[in-house]
């Protein structure tokens, strides 16, 4: 569509249209959804007879305009999105990444920021989202999500993402199963991780801090929470409840099993909506409070974070969470990829205690 190649090392895709179709696309009503015939070129692969039109409701008048590409059923890219090692930024009233029903999304190692809608929105199908840095998602009158996942037909996988400075939830899941592992989530206006509308999730090695709420499990959702650190969130660390709005009544509160987890320094460490049936089991965890939270091998002792005021929640050597976690079901590495156990036992929280020593050796020069 344009002959000028982009600068940098970003992947290059090309759309080739006849002059007639190009003229029609650029001069017709912006909100026409009629697909025009085009050829899609990626590296050495060529896909003929794809359909192209502008996409979005609010973003079509903006520039550059977003396009929707419809591949034929036999095409490799049909219903599949793969975005790797890219920078996605400065969208106007549009998502950075959107995956529609029955699509497959692979989103790997991207930097996504300054977005005027939810940064990533995947509905239906399958999503594998790993290693992305998502931030500055707040330039709208409405609350925006970092990653929103809903109605997955196959459990989604969210790994190794760093999400912060988002006006609503860092991660929001509804009607979906998911594995959420090794993510660092902080400074989000609502929840670090929100799980609702009957979903089933496994949360492992996540660090969630400085949000309004850390982890919310609601409306009949179920979550297994192991080796997470949930700290210094304004309202609740872990919150199980039923949303009191039409469409949510009668779904009941959430259900959670919490193991090897640190819940410390939050407004309320664990908040349960018992009226609507919230159920939680907590074992081998460190939960702040005047008394120890009921459950096997729980403690309520200061975990001794290294520098929480700077967002550093690694454990100091004297932490009561070092070597005192439960071995069964514990992950074999921590949020930063340090193998577990690194000492005599597994640690509680997202970080495995690991000390390394830097030393400087003198350089001796001998002149002959």
* Per-residue pLDDT at 184: 98
Alpha helices in the chain (DSSP H): 19-27
Residues 223 and 105 in one domain: no
Task: Please check whether residue 180 lies inside any domain of the structure.
Answer: no
| Through-space distance between the first and last CA atoms of the chain, rounded to whole angstroms | 68
Residues 39 and 89 in one domain: no
CA 60 from centroid of its chain's CA atoms = 27
* Per-residue pLDDT at 57: 58
> How far, in Å, are 41, 103, 194, 222 from residue 202 at the CA level?
39, 23, 13, 9
Residues 318 and 238 in one domain: yes
Task: Please check whether residue 177 lies inside any domain of the structure.
Answer: no
* Per-residue pLDDT at 213: 98
Q: Which residues contact 89 (CB under 8 A, 6 or more apart)?
A: 96, 111, 112, 113, 114, 115
Where does a domain end: 75, 102, 123?
A: 75
H, E, C per residue of 213-275: EEEEEECCCEEEEECCEEECCCCEEEEEECCCCCCCCCCCCCEEEEECCEEECCCEEEEECHH
* Per-residue pLDDT at 299: 98
Residues 254 and 147 in one domain: no
Give the C-alpha separation, 273 to 197, whole Å.
Answer: 16
Task: Please check whether residue 248 lies inside any domain of the structure.
Answer: yes
Residues 139 and 221 in one domain: no
Where does a domain end: 25, 57, 75?
A: 75
H, E, C per residue of 266-300: CCEEEEECHHHCCEEEEECCEECCCCCCCCCCCEC
Task: Please check whether residue 107 lies inside any domain of the structure.
Answer: yes
Residues 39 and 25 in one domain: yes
Residues 2 and 90 in one domain: no
Task: Please check whether residue 184 lies inside any domain of the structure.
Answer: no
* Per-residue pLDDT at 131: 97
Give the C-alpha separation, 66 to 98, whole Å.
Answer: 11
Residues 218 and 363 in one domain: yes
Which residue, among 32, 27, 67, 26, has the nearest Cα to 50 in the 3D structure? Answer: 67
Residues 110 and 248 in one domain: no
Residues 251 and 331 in one domain: yes
* Per-residue pLDDT at 77: 55
Contact between 306 and 326 under an 8 Å Cβ cutoff? The reply is no
* Per-residue pLDDT at 1: 46
Residues 85 and 68 in one domain: no
Give the C-alpha separation, 70 to 73, whole Å.
Answer: 9
Residues 142 and 198 in one domain: no
Per-10-residue mean pLDDT for the chain, 368 residues long? 52 83 90 90 81 72 73 59 86 82 88 93 92 93 93 93 98 96 98 93 98 97 98 98 91 96 98 97 98 98 97 96 96 95 95 73 69
Please give the sequence-ordered ranges of beta strands (E in DSSP) within 29-141, or none if there are none: 36-42, 45-54, 67-70, 80-84, 87-89, 97-99, 104-108, 111-113, 120-123, 126-130, 133-137
Task: Please check whether residue 179 lies inside any domain of the structure.
Answer: no
Task: Please check whether residue 349 lies inside any domain of the structure.
Answer: yes
Task: Please check whether residue 174 lies inside any domain of the structure.
Answer: no
Burial class (CB in 10 A: 0-12, 13-18, 19+), 93: middle
Number of domains in the chain: 3
Domain that holds residue 71: 1-75
Contact between 214 and 191 under an 8 Å Cβ cutoff? The reply is yes
Q: Which residues contact 270 (CB under 8 A, 6 or more apart)?
A: 236, 237, 238, 239, 263, 280, 282, 287, 293
CA 254 from centroid of its chain's CA atoms = 20
Length of the chain: 368
């Amino acid at each position: 569509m344009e002959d000028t190649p982009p600068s940098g090392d970003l992947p290059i895709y090309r759309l080739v249209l006849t002059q007639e179709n190009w003229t029609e696309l650029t001069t017709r009503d912006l909100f026409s959804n009629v697909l025009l015939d085009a050829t899609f070129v990626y590296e050495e692969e060529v896909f003929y007879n794809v359909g192209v039109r502008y996409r979005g409701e609010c973003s079509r008048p903006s520039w550059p305009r977003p396009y929707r590409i419809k591949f034929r059923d036999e095409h490799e890219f049909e219903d599949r999105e793969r975005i790797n090692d890219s920078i996605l930024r400065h969208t106007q009233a549009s998502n950075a990444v959107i995956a529609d029903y029955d699509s497959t999304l692979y989103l790997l190692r991207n930097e996504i920021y300054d977005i005027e809608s939810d940064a990533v929105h995947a509905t239906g199908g399958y999503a594998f989202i790993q290693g992305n840095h998502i931030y500055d998602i707040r330039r709208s009158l409405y609350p925006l999500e970092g990653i929103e996942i809903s109605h997955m037909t196959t459990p989604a996988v969210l790994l190794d993402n760093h999400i912060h400075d988002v006006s609503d939830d860092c991660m929001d899941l509804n009607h979906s199963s998911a594995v959420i592992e090794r993510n660092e989530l902080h400074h989000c206006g609502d929840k670090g991780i929100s799980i609702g509308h009957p979903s089933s999730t496994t949360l492992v090695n996540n660090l969630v801090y400085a949000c309004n709420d850390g982890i919310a499990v609601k409306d009949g959702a179920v979550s297994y929470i192991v080796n997470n650190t949930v700290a210094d969130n304004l309202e609740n660390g872990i919150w199980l409840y039923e949303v009191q709005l039409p469409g949510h009544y009668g779904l009941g509160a959430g259900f959670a099993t919490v193991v090897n987890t640190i819940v410390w320094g939050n407004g309320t460490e664990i908040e349960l909506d018992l009226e609507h049936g919230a159920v939680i089991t907590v074992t081998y965890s460190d939960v702040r409070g005047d008394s120890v939270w009921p459950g096997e091998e729980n403690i309520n002792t200061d975990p001794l974070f290294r520098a929480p005021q700077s967002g550093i929640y690694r454990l100091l050597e004297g932490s009561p969470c070092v070597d005192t976690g439960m071995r069964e079901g514990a992950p074999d590495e921590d949020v930063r990829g340090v193998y577990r156990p690194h000492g005599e036992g597994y640690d509680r929280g997202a970080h495995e205690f690991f000390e390394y020593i830097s030393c400087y050796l003198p350089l001796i020069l001998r002149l002959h």
